[in-house]
Amino acid sequence: MKWIVWVLAIAAVLIGLEFVFGDSDRNQPISHDPLAVSLYEDGLQDLFALRFNDAVTKLERALELDPGFAEAGIALAGAYSRLGMTQETKAAMALADSLTESIPGDRRRMLAQVRICRNSAATSFPIRDSLMTRLAREEPENIFVLEALAMDARSRSDMDEAERIWKRILEFDPNYANSYNQLGYLELGRGNYESAINHMQKYAFLSPGMANTHDSLGDVYMAMGRYDEAESEYKLALSKQPDFFYALIHLGQTYIARGQLKSGLDLLHQVSSKMAGTEFEMEIDQGILMSYLNAGLLDELQEANSKFIAKYPDSGRTVINRAVQLVYRGRSAESRALMDSVLTVRRTSLKYRTSPRTRLRTESESMLYEAIAADVLLDAPARVKAWQKIVDFVEDKFPFQEQWYYRRHLAQALLDAGRPDDALSALQPMLSVNSNLFYCLEIAVHSSLALRDATGARQFMDQLRWSLRDADRDLPIVKRASALEALVTELESRS
């Protein structure tokens, strides 16, 4: 589960406080109330295990007992954030920020400030770089300082530096489970799947009771197209923690990847309802829209998009969805004006200036809009150029499996531009990893037909039919596959 790094780093830093300070820091109690300390420590363990609801219950109680308990406030903000509780996160973060400034003991206060000022609104945000420089100098072998540095490297998309730091942590503590989880995701993002599995299995061995160990391993199997194994891992995660909504989301995505759209969407709708009022609700709903788009269910897509726009009227994502909807309706000028307005707001925001992740998301969405607009206008050269641009942009920034949507559409644009050989070249890296990507296989069959390659067409056709063996019978691609089979058979008869 890729979001774990922020939560675990907070928890690790806080749990490690008593081990890293000088004597003057260590002698300062973190709370005057022993029960508050006990609840806080239990809540941190829940954060480690990603039992966020349990963590919230305990940490809220710790703050009730000691309203000045800064570390509990920091941890509570982290738990709220992982649950997508935006308003609660802001309130807890503001409280923790004010409390952190009064923490006695320089090192303890600095470590807390480093955690707090990941939020650009924090009082200590302007001095975060100097804080990290000082802590790295004064505590160069401290695991928790190293973990914060690894997080920074990841936020800059410097995966080589992040890997070096996670491995450095293992030199000090070979049983530090989170390092294996993070190394597993680094290798997954690079496309080194067997290495990713190896790291995730070590993570599971060191944390046998955690739901997330199975969720993480399931993510690797999912990328590789080993959907049955992925499903088993997600279900194991849920058997350990039934409210682990990440595994529920991933399980729904597994069904959709197998073409079981009804089962997958039903599950995602259930999770969306459970996450009502959180930021995750909107992300899940956006994923549902993409599922309709991929499946070619345009009527369902229009209906779902209209509901999305009504449900989230003030979201920047809604503005983009409206702009795309206007493109499909042939209202290009209106669409362009709307998209330009949202991009202007984003690019002039503090978050855009201070957050690499926000800049990456903004620019990739801008390029995606241009590619979709080119698709609608049926301008073949413009389509190839637009999709190639976004593929080039994300190539060293997104995990490989998160690039597949863009790469698939580039292949389709190349095919439609009369370049079937280039389309096959664009598809090959994806299909070599996951041979069950049926939308890619469909393009591969068409490309082979265009090249009059009966052998290639048959190989891709057989794999396409295999990949759709469990798919809903009324899924549009299932019907298209039957028509493709006839074309392949015809080509074979002429060869």
* Average pLDDT estimate for 44-72: 88
Q: How confident is the model at residue 5 (pLDDT cuts 50, 70, 90)?
A: very low
Per-residue pLDDT tens digits for 223-237:
999 999 999 999 999
Q: How far apart are CA 257 and CA 85, in angstroms?
A: 29
Q: Is residue 389 part of a domain?
A: no
CATH number of the domain bearing residue 459? 1.25.40
82 in the same domain as 53: yes
Per-residue pLDDT tens digits for 255-294:
999 999 999 999 999 999 988 888 789 999 999 998 998 8
161 in the same domain as 12: yes
| Whole-number pLDDT of residue 404 | 94
203 in the same domain as 81: no
Q: How confident is the model at residue 364 (pLDDT cuts 50, 70, 90)?
A: very high
241 in the same domain as 147: no
State the CB neighbour count (10 A cutoff) for residue 238: 19
Domain boundary at 143, 173, 203, which? 173
Give the residue carrying structure tokens 């993480």.
216
Per-residue pLDDT tens digits for 418-470:
999 999 999 999 999 999 999 999 999 999 999 999 999 999 999 999 999 99
131 in the same domain as 235: no
Per-residue pLDDT tens digits for 135-190:
888 888 777 788 888 888 887 778 999 999 999 999 988 888 889 999 999 999 99
| Whole-number pLDDT of residue 18 | 37
Q: Is residue 82 part of a domain?
A: yes
Which of 125, 126, 105 lies closest to 115 in space, CA to CA? 125
What backbone phi and psi angles, to 5 degrees, belong to 264? -65, -45
When mean pLDDT is compared over 177-181, 296-300, 356-360, the highest value belongs to 177-181
What backbone phi and psi angles, to 5 degrees, belong to 268? -65, -40
137 token code pair: 């100098």
| Whole-number pLDDT of residue 27 | 53
- In percent, the amount of the chain with pLDDT more than 70 equals 94
Give the residue carrying structure tokens 């070979």.
174
201 in the same domain as 144: no
Q: How confident is the model at residue 417 (pLDDT cuts 50, 70, 90)?
A: very high
125 in the same domain as 44: yes
* Average pLDDT estimate for 82-96: 84
| Whole-number pLDDT of residue 24 | 42
* Average pLDDT estimate for 50-55: 84
90 token code pair: 């802001």
> Can you list the alpha helix ranges (DSSP code H) found in 177-226?
177-190, 193-206, 211-223
Q: How confident is the model at residue 125 (pLDDT cuts 50, 70, 90)?
A: confident
pLDDT at position 7 over 50:
no
Contacts of 451-455 with C-beta under 8 Å, sequence gap 24+, read 451/420, 451/421, 451/424, 452/491, 452/495, 454/488, 454/491, 454/492, 454/494, 454/495
Q: How confident is the model at residue 28 (pLDDT cuts 50, 70, 90)?
A: low
Name, in order, each residue with C-beta under 8 angstroms of 87's C-beta and a sequence gap of 6 or more: none
Q: Is residue 315 part of a domain?
A: no
* Average pLDDT estimate for 55-60: 93
* Average pLDDT estimate for 53-71: 92
146 in the same domain as 55: yes
pLDDT at position 11 over 70:
no
Q: How far apart are CA 425 and CA 421, in angstroms?
A: 6
Q: How far apart are CA 284 and CA 296, in angstroms?
A: 19
More confident residue, 249 or 127: 249
Domain boundary at 242, 257, 272, which? 257
CA 67 to chain centre: 34
More confident residue, 280 or 195: 195
Name, in order, each residue with C-beta under 8 angstroms of 400's C-beta and a sequence gap of 6 or more: 189, 190, 191, 223, 429, 433
Domains: count for the chain? 3
Length of the chain: 495
Q: What is the mean pLDDT of the chain?
A: 88
More confident residue, 6 or 79: 79
Q: How confident is the model at residue 93 (pLDDT cuts 50, 70, 90)?
A: confident
| Whole-number pLDDT of residue 8 | 42
- Rounded to two decimals, the pTM is 0.83
Q: How far apart are CA 487 and CA 491, in angstroms?
A: 6
What backbone phi and psi angles, to 5 degrees, belong to 307? -65, -40
**Contact between 166 and 182 (Cβ < 8 Å):** yes
Give the residue carrying structure tokens 């570390």.
71
Q: Is residue 446 part of a domain?
A: yes
Q: How far apart are CA 361 and CA 398, in angstroms?
A: 10
215 in the same domain as 236: yes
180 in the same domain as 155: no
Per-residue pLDDT tens digits for 312-356:
988 878 888 899 889 888 899 999 999 999 899 999 998 898 888
Domain boundary at 231, 257, 283, which? 257
Q: Is residue 109 part of a domain?
A: yes
Name, in order, each residue with C-beta under 8 angstroms of 392's C-beta and a sequence gap of 6 or more: none
432 in the same domain as 457: yes
Q: Is residue 300 part of a domain?
A: no
| Whole-number pLDDT of residue 120 | 66
126 in the same domain as 231: no
- Please say whether the dihedral angle defined by the alpha carbons of residues 418, 424, 425 and 430, taken in this order, is positive or negative: positive
CATH number of the domain bearing residue 39? 1.25.40.10
Q: How far apart are CA 173 and CA 194, in angstroms?
A: 23
Q: How far apart are CA 152 and CA 146, in angstroms?
A: 10
Residue-range definition of the domain harbouring residue 448:
405-495
| Whole-number pLDDT of residue 390 | 97
Q: How far apart are CA 478 and CA 429, in angstroms?
A: 24
| Whole-number pLDDT of residue 458 | 98
| Whole-number pLDDT of residue 252 | 96
